[in-house]
Chain A
Amino acid sequence: MSASLRLRNVSVEFPIYSGGSRSLKKLLFNTTTVGNLGRDARDRVTVLALSDLSLDIRHGERLAIIGANGAGKSTLLKVLAGIYAPTGGQMHAEGRVSALLTASVGLNPDATGRENIVTRGMYMDVHPRDMRARVEEIAAFTDLGYYIDMPVRTYSSGMMVRLCFAVATSLRPEILLMDEWLAAGDAGFLAKARQRMEEFVSATSILVLASHSLSLLREWCNRAILLERGRLIAVGAVDEVAEIYASRTG
């Protein structure tokens, strides 16, 4: 069966547990321009991050998620990745999903780069035995030199991105979900990363990419959706959706 992601009337509602919810509620209601706030049955403040979203993503699609901050882009990626179970509606994924949401997943600052490669591989469901066989190749790609045997604590943020990028793209998932962190890193590495990304993306069945960079989305994607306050506003070609986004944000 070919890979697919299907959403039916998916909603995600975050309860806010922190104290003083009434004053917090007042504060948020008066100032918010993004997201949706409401109350649930037990009078708790909730944030409606996604609201009644239905969508099918099929084999071969390169989907761009467009939207302002707080529109629900990251939440949608987390739902697709299986991290957040929808609080309403249903999600069905067919195929192996890999999510590159932030750079620092499970990085242990006291462990060396090499050790972190193996640990990260484990979280991606790869046995340490198989991962150790790839460590050299991954380490070579990072260009970190002897830093690969130093604790990650000593790394600059650009070096961390390199490490994470190299590990994350060393596997070949069927469905790839990405947030825009990949844009980080220095120019020299970026060129190298771009080439690797191209191979990587062309090998996946489905790509879902959330970014603010329209040029990036135009280049990588063949379809786009527009989110606004957790609602699906438009679906279509990247340029069309980008135009709608521009007209709505003025």
Chain B
Amino acid sequence: MAFAASRELDYDGVARLPAAPGRAVLAWRDLAGGWQRRWMWGALAVHDIKLRYRGSLLGPFWLTISTAIMVVAMGVIYPYLFHMNAGRYVPYLAVGLIVWQTLSGIANEGCNTFLGEESVIQQVPVPFSIHAYRCVCRNFLVLGHNLVIVPFGMLVLRLPVDWQIVMFVPGLVLLAINGVWLSILLGMVSARFRDVPPIVTNFIQVVFFLTPVIWPLDALHGPLRSVIVMNPFFAAMDIVRAPLLGVAPAATSWPIMLVTTAVGCGLGFALFARFRTRIAYWV
């Protein structure tokens, strides 16, 4: 036993370790490893919802009821404001609010993807992507509870149903993919810059009024309309809402959503690869 500078201490003669894989490979392994553990984030997301409604009789169906109450309340006055008949306006509003809750839920909770899981990130090495999948899954569970309203509404209002309604499924898949990159991106930026979550909350609030959720797109004319149509939040909403209402989405919606997905995934992956290992230091 001797004193020595740390450099000379206890080498077994192997000067170098096998080269570590590159950042992009590690980021990809993180995403793939997280996807393999679907049981983990699936169960955690279910657990999140259960805990939110612990002790309540109706449990997560309060989500459904709250949305229904809001739709009924607004359905009394708003059709007159927009000169629409209630039979057309109420389904539009209901589906719009349901989809909007998912979009805003993912954006707002996405800021907390990593910050909210600090105790886990600091103690156990699980893939970081788990937290993002969990956030998206949780919001889709809420969506699932809310969507119960749709078949009910269709029965009550005797709306015709045709096969095109199934087009909302690919729309939801695309929404989920966008949810993942968004919660990874917002989660990282929020962990590093703590001013981001309130900024996002305010931004989403503004976008809510700029996106046709409670007001119909047809109420808007002129150049502003073409700007609103280009808004990715409108596109995201339209590809799910339109098929559920039995109408075709705007011609621009799918292309805009596909471009958003490609750009978002690219940007999200690049930043994730670059800063993934920093997340544990930030939270």
Contact = CB atoms under 8 A, between A and B. Distances in A.
A105 B9 contact: no
Given A234-B1, A240-B1, A102 B9 contact: no
B120 A123 contact: yes
A99 B9 contact: no
B9 A83 contact: no
Contact of B40 (A17, A78, A122): A122
Contacts of B12: 56
A92 interface: yes
Interface in A109-132: 110-111, 115, 118-119, 122-125, 127-128
Contacts of A105: 119-120, 123-124
Contact of B20 (A81, A90, A107, A124): A90
Nearest to A18: B194
Interface string B25-44: 00000000000010110011
B124 A123 contact: yes
A123 B9 contact: no
A56 B280 contact: no
Interface residues of B, number: 33
Contacts of A15: 281
Interface string B81-94: 00000000000000
A109 to B, nearest CB: 10
Contacts of B120: 105-106, 123
A14 B43 contact: no
A108 interface: yes
Given A8-B16, A84-B281, A52 B125 contact: no
B275 to A, nearest CB: 11
Interface in B1-59: 1, 3, 6-7, 9-12, 14, 16-18, 20, 37, 39-40, 43-44, 47, 51, 54
B125 A81 contact: yes
A8 B1 CA distance: 21
A235 B10 contact: yes
Give the one of B1, B3, B37, B121 with max A CB within 10 A. Answer: B1
A125 B47 CA distance: 16
A38 interface: no
10 contacts: A15-B281, A54-B6, A54-B7, A56-B12, A83-B123, A83-B124, A84-B280, A99-B123, A111-B47, A118-B43
Interface of A: 6, 8-9, 14-15, 17, 51-56, 78, 81-85, 90, 92, 97, 99, 101-102, 104-108, 110-111, 115, 118-119, 122-125, 127-128, 231-237, 240-241, 244
Interface of B: 1, 3, 6-7, 9-12, 14, 16-18, 20, 37, 39-40, 43-44, 47, 51, 54, 119-126, 192, 277, 280-281
Given A8-B17, A90-B20, A111-B47, 17 more contacts: A6-B14, A15-B281, A54-B6, A54-B7, A54-B9, A56-B10, A81-B124, A82-B125, A92-B18, A99-B125, A102-B123, A108-B47, A122-B43, A124-B124, A125-B37, A125-B126, A237-B1
Nearest 3 interchain pairs by C-beta: A85-B277, A236-B1, A232-B6
